[in-house]
Amino acid sequence: MSHNHQKKIALINDMSGFGRCSIAVALPIISVMKVQCCPMPTLIFSNHTGFPEFFMEDFTEQMIPYAQNWKKLGLEFNGICTGFLGSAKQIQTVRNFIQDFRTNDTIVIVDPVMGDHGKAYSTYTPEMCQRMKELVQYATILTPNITEACLLTDTPYKTTWKTSEIVVMAETLVSKGPSKVVITGIPQKSYIANLCFETGRNPTILKVHRIGTERSGTGDIFASIIAADAINGIDFLTSVRKASKFIKKCILRSIELDIPLTDGVCFEEVLHTLH
């Protein structure tokens, strides 16, 4: 009996019970885009770390037997999508997972959740940064924000960028392995820009008007749409535009409903528009 009649993505990310991020948003988004989502938790949180208090359970030791049972079932994945990884050991475990499950046709999407606003997250050690740089070589598609692009390329962070400078970072990242890179969250006056870089195509800047205030989970939504579209054969630029427009729609609806910033975006309200 084969379990591989439907397109599948292995999603390796943390699980937050409240706050709309990581697996909690990726699973419904990938599913509504007609791809089966198979989550592997890295850590389990009662709510994400943007709240004053949270419960956390590290799932590192369980990840290997978890994957071994998938292997026993003969599962094959069209895509592997990685998100928040909590330790150097987890990054190595994910690297082993990719090596074990990847075929010539598998699309690997790495969202290097390392930092924001010019700094690495407080939990991110120099060793983890180095391990993430090594993980990048396995990616087909890489989705760093501007801070993470700086961390991965050892580029000093600043608040104002020329397009040519972003292109140099994208070229550096592509040289490490990925064939497609989108650098997100680039501030440009009243806009937020994403730079798309594909092997064999000219780089493209896509802008959207800045609205509201940053909320948790939008990066997870973005990476999930990119991942599902890639599995479905959708053009990369088309996918980035779709993801940006959908997030804008989510933010606007969240503002209308007065959703607290910690609670992420109420994507459920507009999920039916995504396909």
Q: Which two tokens stand for residue 235?
A: 């053009």
Which alpha helices (DSSP H) does the chain contain, by range? 23-32, 60-72, 88-101, 126-135, 146-153, 163-175, 218-231, 236-256
DSSP string over 151-209: HHHTPPP-S---HHHHHHHHHHHHHTS-SEEEEEEEEETTEEEEEEEETTS--EEEEEE
Q: How far apart are CA 237 and CA 233, in angstroms?
A: 12
d(CA 104, CA 216): 34
List own/partner pairs for 62-66 with CB under 8 A and 24 or more apart.
Answer: 63/90, 63/93, 63/97, 64/93, 66/40
CA distance 61 to 118: 31
8-269 to CATH, choices 3.40.50.2300, 2.60.40.420, 3.40.50.200, 3.40.1190.20: 3.40.1190.20
From first to last of its 275 residues, the chain has per-residue pLDDT tens of: 789 889 999 999 999 999 999 999 999 999 999 999 999 999 999 999 999 999 999 999 999 999 999 999 999 999 999 999 999 999 999 999 999 999 999 999 999 999 998 999 988 999 999 999 999 999 999 999 999 999 999 999 998 999 999 999 999 999 999 999 999 999 888 888 999 999 989 999 998 888 777 788 999 999 999 999 999 999 999 999 999 999 999 999 999 999 999 999 999 999 999 98
Predicted TM-score of the model (pTM)? 0.96
Distance of CA 222 to the CA centre of its chain: 7
Contacts of 74 (CB under 8 A, 6+ apart): 2, 3, 4
C-alpha–C-alpha distance, residues 265 and 52, integer Å: 19
Cβ-contact 79, 35 below 8 angstroms: yes
Closest residue by Cα to residue 80 from 103, 58, 114, 63: 103
